[in-house]
Amino acid sequence: MSAAGYVIVAGGIVAANEVIFAPLEGQGNPVSNFNWRIIPATAILALVLTGFEKMAPQFGNALGGMVLLVSLVAPMGNAPAPLDNIAKVVGGAK
C-alpha cells in the first residue's frame, strides 16, 4: 500500500470514529460534533507523503504506516481514540 493509501485509511478511521463510535458512547450528535478539518488535513498529508514517497519510497511508506498506527491509539478530533471507543462498545473497557 502507498503512503497516501495509509493516510486515507487513517483519515477514514478517524472520521468513522467521530461519526459512529463517539455517538454510541453518548458523546453528542455526530453531525454537530464532527471535526470537518479532518478532511482537508487528510488530503494535504496524503499529498505531502506522496512527495516523500517519490523521493525516498521506503521512508514515505514508513511514515504513512506510522500515521495509521498513531491514528488508532491517539485521540484525533473531538472524540477519544478509536481503540478506546471500540473497546467501550464491545465491553472491554470500563
Domain containing residue 84: 3-90
Domain count, the chain: 1
Mean pLDDT for 22-49 is 80
Mean pLDDT for 40-45 is 94
Residue 56 pLDDT greater than 90, yes or no: yes
Q: DSSP of 9-29, one letter per residue?
A: HHHHHHHHIIIIIHHHTT---
Mean pLDDT for 67-82 is 87
Q: DSSP of 19-88, one letter per residue?
A: IIIHHHTT---TTTS--TTHHHHHHHHHHHHHHHHHH-HHHHHHHHHHHHHHHHHS--TTS--HHHHHHH
Coil vs helix vs strand at 3:
helix
